[in-house]
């Protein structure tokens, strides 16, 4: 089953800026898709095209079988955007009640669902405190609870760990990971936080300057950038990098070093990482390492 | 269960509209700094000022008003009840039943524009409008919710202030001179029709401006343009060029209400999510 199917999606804003060109990608139902790229690459524009906030200037996107501009889709999707906040004057419970009403969740069901989410997000003890008194990390958990209220089939997360300290980012990451598995929802996760994405996502897309430059599973992306394989041989005396094409060459390399009189401490096969693949496609300039 | 109704051929979900109204009212109530002036200013304008004028004129005579002479000239143009024979009381009757009418339009207008500008631009400034747009709420439901969330407090505060005006001024007049002064029937169409129509018009303009404006100050400045014609009305009224009578009031209310309705439907039909989200 395909949850998100974008074909040749493009967006040129009214001011003439091309934010996205010819983006084609598919995300299967239940998949956690990581959309990675530097700031300003077009991630937010992509999310807003997929969740129906913006109309594409070319191409089209089919979301859960309907065209992305179908107004009814908002009942089945949820978006957690970097700048989309909730009401600071209201308490957590009041906030969640308000949004539950906008999603037409009947009162009793909303009450049950809210208590359940508060429990899951470890927010129960502060449910009647005003949101304005919360730390950024706690607010993010409230926002996450909001996106899950109506049991969405697709969750768009745009930089969910932005502005969080490493500890809070870690907590939120773990939560997203668990919730995505438990709910079975499809997750479209935008981030420039590589390590975070590597842990949570099943497959990835890399975007640069409004273009999708690579996509695939973890394994596929790594393989696509591995031109040569390497072993790192550490001896008491030095460190050696040995490239090989055939695994029997590893043995030759080790023998050669031993023959020179050095004492081997460690032999490690070096594999490319998602990070290597990312930098291969995106380039290092202007990127903030997550 | 949400209640669905059809307005202008479009189904609206009143559950969502109610949620918006309740949330906005709760936010206004939670913000004491905004709420207190919203009550003090109307009371000052519509109770303290006329109360002081009445008390002074009744105890010290009409000469205590600097423009009493010019005011006295216009008395014959107003339908002052024959039962009031005392010249001072006739003057006060005109002041309290006619000269103060525009104040009871300025108050709801002012309240409605402040609350609605804040309700829309405030959501933009605090980053909550984007979150709202991600929910299934429709443009019409959002605009209707915002409209009512500003109209209801404005209308009820104005109505409450009029009741206070009616009681305080009549108690004062009766205690000092044994006369009930605020009793012209013109107040019925003024309070029930004209004031709501004027505030709806102010709301229509404010909503139109607010969805486009980037800041609260910007929205308020533009919306203030609506207040100028009303201030003009005050001057016109005081100088006696136009005399309010019930028919004029009803006609004016219908005209302004019609204009407000036209503007509101335009605001809703031109409501463009894409434009709004791009300016956030």
Residue in B19, B30, B130 closest to A84 by CB: B130
Q: Quick check: B58 pLDDT over 70?
A: yes
Of the two residues B248 and B131, the one the predictor is more confident about is: B131
Write the ipTM: 0.84
Q: How confident is the model at residue B276 (pLDDT cuts 50, 70, 90)?
A: confident
Distance CA A89, CA B71 (A): 49
Which ranges in chain A belong to alpha helices (H)? 43-50, 92-102, 107-120, 136-148, 166-183, 194-200, 218-225, 248-259, 274-282
Q: Quick check: B234 pLDDT over 70?
A: no
Q: How does pLDDT run across B1-52, given as a tens digit for each residue?
A: 344 554 455 678 999 999 999 999 988 887 788 788 888 989 999 999 999 9
Instruction: Show the tokens assigned to B80.
Output: 């002052």
Distance CA B43, CA B23 (A): 26
Cβ contact B134–A94 (<8 Å): no
Cβ contact A83–B130 (<8 Å): yes
Residue of B nearest to A70 (CA): B136
pLDDT the model gives residue B232: 67
> With an 8 Å Cβ cutoff, is A11 touching chain B?
no
Q: Which of residues 99-118 of A touch B (CB under 8 A)?
A: 99, 101-104, 106
Cβ contact B135–A72 (<8 Å): no
Of the two residues B8 and A255, the one the predictor is more confident about is: A255
Cβ contact A90–B30 (<8 Å): yes
**What does the pLDDT average to over B197-218?**
82
Cβ contact A71–B133 (<8 Å): no
Q: Quick check: A288 pLDDT over 50?
A: no
Chain A residues touching B29 at Cβ < 8 A: none
pLDDT the model gives residue B161: 95
Residue in A79, A98, A101 closest to B134 by CB: A79
Whole-model pTM over 0.95 = no
Out of A17-31, A92-106, B229-243, pick the least confident. B229-243
Task: Enumerate residues 6+ apart whose C-beta is below 8 A from A50.
Answer: A4, A6, A61, A63, A68, A156, A188
Residue in A14, A75, A84 closest to B131 by CB: A84
């Amino acid at each position: 089953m395909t949850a998100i199917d974008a074909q040749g999606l493009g967006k040129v804003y009214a001011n003439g800026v091309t934010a996205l060109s010819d983006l084609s990608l598919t995300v299967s139902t239940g998949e956690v898709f990581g959309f990675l790229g530097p700031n300003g690459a077009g991630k937010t524009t992509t999310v807003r095209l997929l969740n129906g906030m913006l109309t594409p200037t070319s191409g089209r996107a089919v979301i859960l079988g309907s065209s992305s501009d179908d107004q009814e889709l908002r009942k089945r999707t949820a978006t957690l955007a970097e700048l989309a906040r909730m009401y600071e004057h209201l308490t957590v419970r009041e906030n969640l009640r308000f949004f539950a009403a906008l999603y037409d969740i009947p009162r009793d069901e909303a009450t049950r669902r809210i208590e359940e989410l508060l429990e899951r997000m470890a927010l129960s003890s502060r449910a009647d405190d005003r949101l304005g008194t919360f730390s950024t990390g706690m607010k993010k958990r409230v926002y996450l609870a909001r996106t899950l209220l109506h049991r969405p089939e697709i969750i768009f997360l745009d930089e969910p760990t932005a502005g969080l300290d490493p500890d809070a980012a870690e907590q939120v990451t773990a939560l997203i990971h668990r919730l995505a598995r438990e709910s079975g929802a499809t997750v479209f996760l935008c981030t420039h936080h590589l390590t975070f994405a590597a842990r949570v996502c099943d497959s990835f897309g890399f975007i640069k300057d409004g273009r999708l430059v690579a996509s695939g599973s973890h394994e596929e992306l790594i393989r696509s950038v591995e031109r040569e394989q390497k072993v790192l041989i550490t001896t008491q005396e030095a460190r050696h990098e040995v490239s090989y094409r055939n695994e029997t060459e590893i043995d030759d390399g080790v023998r050669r070093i031993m023959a020179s009189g050095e004492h081997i401490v460690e032999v490690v096969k070096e594999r490319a990482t998602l990070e290597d693949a990312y930098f291969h496609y995106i380039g290092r300039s202007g990127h903030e390492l997550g | 269960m949400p209640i669905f109704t059809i307005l202008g051929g479009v189904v609206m979900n009143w559950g969502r509209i109610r949620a918006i109204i309740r949330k906005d009212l709760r936010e206004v109530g939670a913000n004491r700094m905004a709420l207190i002036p919203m009550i003090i200013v109307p009371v000052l304008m519509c109770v303290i000022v006329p109360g002081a004028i009445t008390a002074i004129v009744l105890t010290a005579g009409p000469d205590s008003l600097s423009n009493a002479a010019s005011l006295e000239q216009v008395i014959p143009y107003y339908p002052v009840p024959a039962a009031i024979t005392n010249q001072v009381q006739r003057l006060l009757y005109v002041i309290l039943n006619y000269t103060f009418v525009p104040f009871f339009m300025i108050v709801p207008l002012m309240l409605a524009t402040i609350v609605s500008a804040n309700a829309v631009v405030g959501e933009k400034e605090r980053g909550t409008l984007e979150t709202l747009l991600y929910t299934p709420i429709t443009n019409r439901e959002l605009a209707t919710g915002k409209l009512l969330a500003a109209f209801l407090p404005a209308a009820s505060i104005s109505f409450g202030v009029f009741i206070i005006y009616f009681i305080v001024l009549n108690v004062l007049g009766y205690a000092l001179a044994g006369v009930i002064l605020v009793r012209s029937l013109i107040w019925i169409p003024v309070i029930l029709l004209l004031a709501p129509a004027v505030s709806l018009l102010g709301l229509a303009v404010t909503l139109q401006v607010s969805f486009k404006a980037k800041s609260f100050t910007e929205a308020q400045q533009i919306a203030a343009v609506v207040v100028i014609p009303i201030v003009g009305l005050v001057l016109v009224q005081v100088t006696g060029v136009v005399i309010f009578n019930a028919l004029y009031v009803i006609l004016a209310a219908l005209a302004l209400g019609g204009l407000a309705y036209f503007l509101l439907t335009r605001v809703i039909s031109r409501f463009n999510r894409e434009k709004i989200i791009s300016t956030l």
